[in-house]
Amino acid sequence: MKAFAIDRYGKNQAGRIQDMPEPEVRDDDVLIQIHAASVNALDSKIKSGEFKLILPYRLPLILGNDVAGTVIRVGARVRSFKAGDEVYARPDDDRIGTFAERIAVKESSLALKPKNLGMAEAAALPLVALTAWQTLVETAKLKKGQKVLIAAGSGGVGTIAIQLAKHLGAFVATTTSTANTDWVKALGADVVIDYKKQDFTTVLRDYDVVLNSLGTDELNKSLQVLKPGGHLISISGPPTPAFAAARGLAWPLKQVLRLLSFGIRRKARKNGSPYSFVFMRADGAQLRQITSLVESGAIRPVVDKVFAFDDTDAALAYVDSGRAKGKVVVQVL
């Protein structure tokens, strides 16, 4: 089959469309004809080798972490899906590869595509929607009336997290650039900080939750807007010892992550605040709950651009540029 793959790791290493083996279909797998896949910052981090100690992939590696498509066939133990079903998923992180014509995904990681979305829109959702769900619902346990700061509101995760937080009844603040302030307000943000003109620490106070997706400076500054006991959550790191233990990482790597996160964990403790690092996981049951929210109109995907499959490298470069509003999609079929 045709797939977009890398032969070696490197920040400036370009991938290419090449012939790759057909996916292995295990007894609990669903084989999908891919219609569309979306691009995430994670793809570039994997391509550069940033996660090779945590996610030791074999090269050549097909990139891609979101998929929407049609079921071709199912494994012997699969009961929830059949050939012809329109589905979407974030594949398990040890079996990525959605920039391709076909992929096998575990039944437990899959959900039926929302009926009110096309394939490109559906492909834009799984990774960012599951990230928003696992940070705000599962980790923060965000409640009605609480205040949450969502960094980078015009990004892939931010656009969905704003909508989910509003659905949960929270008061939402976000940061974005001047050009996007009205746009993120339309998504539901109550307070929008233009980071080119304002420092969010001078405006916001006593927040219950901060969802950080930016760098170390923003992460440290986020503690200033949390009330004592408020929850600091990051999806951009640094990873914690709890994350290392959950993934069963080797002892030396556990110690490295302990040291990397020591500073922010100590500062958070002084504020009486838990610090959590969330590395989202595939979860079909959660995706089905997200489907219900999409079909009810509570959440809608935001698609910036759609690229042809042959232009996957250009799609990755566009996401790397930081100019995307919402998600970038690769149309495979």
Q: Tokens for 139, please give them.
A: 């980790």
Confirm if 219 and 264 have CB atoms less than 8 A apart.
yes
Which residue matches tokens 């100690």? 53
Q: Count each helix (H run) and each strand (E run) in the chain, helices first.
A: 10, 16
DSSP sequence for 96-156:
---SBSEEEEEGGGEEEPPTT--HHHHHTSHHHHHHHIIIIIIIS---TT-EEEESSTTSH
Whole-number Å distance between alpha carbons of 324 and 301: 13
Asked if 55 and 249 touch (Cβ cutoff 8 Å), the reply is: no
Q: For residues 180 and 115, state if they share a domain.
A: no
The answer as to whether 294 is a domain residue is no
> CATH code at 132?
3.40.50.720
Q: Specify whether 163 is located in the same domain as 267.
A: yes
Q: Is residue 282 part of a domain?
A: no
Tens of pLDDT, residue by residue, the chain (333 residues): 999 999 999 988 889 999 999 999 999 999 999 999 999 999 999 999 998 888 889 999 999 999 999 999 999 999 999 999 999 999 999 999 999 999 999 999 999 999 999 999 999 999 999 999 999 999 999 999 999 999 999 999 999 999 999 999 999 999 999 999 999 999 999 999 999 999 999 999 999 999 999 999 999 999 999 999 999 999 998 999 999 999 999 999 999 999 999 999 999 999 999 999 999 999 999 999 999 999 999 999 999 999 999 999 999 999 999 889 999 999 999
- Is residue 98 within 8 A of residue 53, CB to CB? The reply is no
Give the structural domain span for 69: 2-125+302-331
Tokens at 215, concatenated: 């760098």
